[in-house]
Amino acid sequence: MVDLDLISKADHIPVLLEPIIENISPVTGVWVDATFGAGGYTRALLDAGAEFVFAIDRDPNVFSLAEKWLGQYPGRIELINDVFSSLEKYVDDVNGVVFDLGVSSMQLDEATRGFSFLKEGPLDMRMSQTGPTAADLVNTSSEKTLSNILYFFGEERASRRIAKAITARRKQAFFETTTDLAKLIESVLPRSKPGQSHPATRSFQALRIAVNKEYEELFNGLFSAEKVLSSGGYLVVVTFHSIEDRIVKRFIQARTGKLYSTSRYLPGSEVLPIQFTKITRKAVKPAPSEISKNSRARSAKLRVAKRTNVKPGKNLTLGELSVPIVGAN
């Protein structure tokens, strides 16, 4: 039995947890929590009846936070520090895979990680803490590339104006901190009206997605999940903005034989194999009561699909699902 109230009192509140459990019950066998974070979904799966959970996260810092409660589930959890697109290296024939996408509240709250424009810290944004930082991207990318990143990854309408201002300013001094960049963006855009988000919100989202290659990672992770799920296994994905949800929606459309009617890349006369069936006909949104308790849930959407016994299909490309691809130059 899942104690939703107890889990919701954790530092990080799992989003849409109740409808997830409703759509995958009865929960049995081996599961993957592909975005472990504070472990809320892992705990919920184990409490609901899962025998074992492989808990994956690319952020090496998150696992220490679980030490205080791991002992409640002896021999039932394996922690893996890696990207979730590497699922096939660790698991096979599992009963379900859960993805909770985007940045966690824990990462936003830690100023030194550089995710938040509200707290001064190094302009970093790396989830795995390896590879180029957001500062590297902002200080070296061409104006066109920056504009495309802001527009396609953040859906920022003023992307060209912001990119132009960034490249002009960095001729004088490179960007090093989150607040430095946020102030520059705020100077370019009209101030927010009461109730609107900060002017830098979309730009910071876009840079985070670019730094961590989140769209490519999600895309590859979905195909990896397809390969490791057993027949009857569940694919569970929680997204937080429109492009993420579009990737998941179109992946499920492709794997339920429904994409051929909307994609010029797939012949309309072709009968596509069906690797999944839909459990949620449309995206599930949080109830007002959940949003009142957890404002992070406001933009969340849940999609659930169930694996068939058809062998995994050929990997598609981001272009075939009409997902934006931005070069880094």
In tens, the pLDDT along 145-173 reads: 999 999 999 999 999 999 999 999 999 99
Q: Give the integer Cα–Cα distance in Å for 83 and 161.
A: 34
* 3-class state of residue 265 by DSSP: coil
Residue 177 gets which letter from DSSP? B
- With contact defined as beta carbons under 8 Å apart, do 107 and 115 qualify? yes
> Hey, what amino acid is at 166?
I
For residue 113, tell me if it sits in a domain.
no
Among 308, 324, 310, 319, which Cα is nearest to 259's? 319
Structural domain range at position 135: 129-209
For residue 13, tell me if it sits in a domain.
yes
Q: How many domains would you assign to the chain?
A: 2
pLDDT band (50, 70, 90) for residue 39: very high
Domain identity same for 226 and 200: no
Among 11, 3, 19, 32, which Cα is nearest to 233's? 32
Does 223 have pLDDT greater than 90?
Answer: yes
Residue-wise pLDDT tens digits, 257-297 = 876 544 455 554 455 789 999 999 999 999 999 999 988 88
Which own/partner pairs from 133-140 qualify as long-range (CB within 8 Å, at least 24 positions apart)? 133/211, 134/207, 134/208, 134/211, 135/174, 135/175, 135/176, 137/207, 137/210, 137/211, 137/328, 138/166, 138/170, 138/175, 138/181, 138/207, 139/170, 139/174, 139/175
The predicted pLDDT at position 184 comes to 96
Residue-wise pLDDT tens digits, 106-122 = 666 666 677 788 889 99
Specify the CATH number for the domain of residue 195.
Answer: 1.10.150.170
Domain identity same for 198 and 233: no
Residue whose structure tokens are 């050929």: 314
Residue 3 gets which letter from DSSP? -
More confident residue, 94 or 13: 94
For residue 328, tell me if it sits in a domain.
no
Residue-wise pLDDT tens digits, 237-267 = 999 988 899 999 999 999 998 765 444 555 5
Average pLDDT, integer, range 83-87: 95
The predicted pLDDT at position 168 comes to 97
Give the dihedral sign, CA 79/249/294/205.
positive
| Complete edge-to-edge strand list for the sheet that includes strand 77-81 | 77-81, 52-57, 30-33, 94-100, 229-239, 301-307, 276-278
The predicted pLDDT at position 34 comes to 97
Among 101, 153, 35, 152, which Cα is nearest to 296's? 101
Q: Give the integer Cα–Cα distance in Å for 306 and 284.
A: 16
Average pLDDT, integer, range 29-52: 96
pLDDT band (50, 70, 90) for residue 65: confident
pTM, full prediction: 0.87
- With contact defined as beta carbons under 8 Å apart, do 250 and 222 qualify? no
Domain identity same for 169 and 140: yes
Final residue of a structural domain among 178, 209, 240? 209
Specify the CATH number for the domain of residue 56.
Answer: 3.40.50.150
For residue 326, tell me if it sits in a domain.
no
Domain identity same for 193 and 225: no
